Structure 1
Amino acid sequence: MRLRTNSLGDLERAVMETLWSHGPDLSVRDVMAKLETDGDKELAYTTVMTVLDRLAKKGIAQRTRDGRAWRYTAASTREVLAATALRNTLDSVQADRRLAMMHFLDDASPSELDDLRAALAEVERRHS
């Protein structure tokens, strides 16, 4: 299944952080307990279940049957999800992609630009 990374809402992001930090194979109750211990307000079971179901339908989480319940795991790492979101955004730019990247990079800090240069050098090494 292909990841669909339309922007995640606050609760979806919190649930994904729980799956990444405390997974794999968490039940809805496991996710609820972790969210509550991480300081989030008390949530209804059905709310967490709906969010996990939505994340599974988007391909961002995976689920497996465990008796009558489901167990959830992140479908990919944070980094893969971020890269997919960036790629989807660039693919949606109808105008000049280079110009869009330039606008993005105009706000980058010196350390972010250093990270970008290092990543680009690594990719170039892999491709040559």
Structure 2
Amino acid sequence: MRCLGELESAVMRVLWDSVEPIKVREVLLRLDTGRSLAYTTVLTVLDNLHRKGWVQRDLDGRAYRYRPTRTREEAAARSLHQVLVASGAPDVVLAHFVASVSDEQAEALRTALRERQRD
């Protein structure tokens, strides 16, 4: 999965915040980028996200409804994994990361590792 640009990330936030699949016009109305965007710009971004595998689209009449292919948390975890792999030294990066987390985050990591061992 590739990294997202600023506008792609904003569109994904709209989709993740939506309860159900939404059309381009709805995405455009909910976007808060601080600038005016054209319908065709948002359509192009959604088409690119579909091509990259970030969103799925289903035809509803003459327009598509878009929804994310994974949750925000799954996407974040995948991005973290890609950073680890790209670092060339994932064990060192993990050690630095663990040293930087709060006590609550460390406990969440311990819990996740215990659950992983049970699987």
Q: Which runs of 5+ in 2 are unaligned?
A: none
Q: 1:49 — aligned with what?
A: 43
Percent identity over the alignment? 42
Give the match's secondary structure for 2:79. helix
Q: Which runs of 5+ in 1 are unaligned?
A: none
1:66 and 2:60 equivalent?
yes
Q: How does 1:1-128 map to 2 (within 5 A)?
A: 4=1, 6-36=2-32, 40-94=34-88, 96-125=89-118, 127=119
Q: Give, as a single letter, the amino acid of the residue that structure 1 aligns with 2:9.
A: R
Distance 2:62 2:16 in 1: 24
Deviations 1:3-57 (A, max 9, x none): x1x3222221221111111143211001111125xx7433211111111111111
Distance 2:19 2:12 in 1: 10
Q: TM-score, normalised by structure 1?
A: 0.80
Q: Give, as a single letter, the amino acid of the residue that structure 2 aligns with 1:118.
A: T
User: For this pair of structures, how many residues does the alignment match?
Assistant: 119
CA RMSD of aligned residues (A): 1.9
Give the match's secondary structure for 2:31. helix
Q: TM-score, normalised by structure 2?
A: 0.85
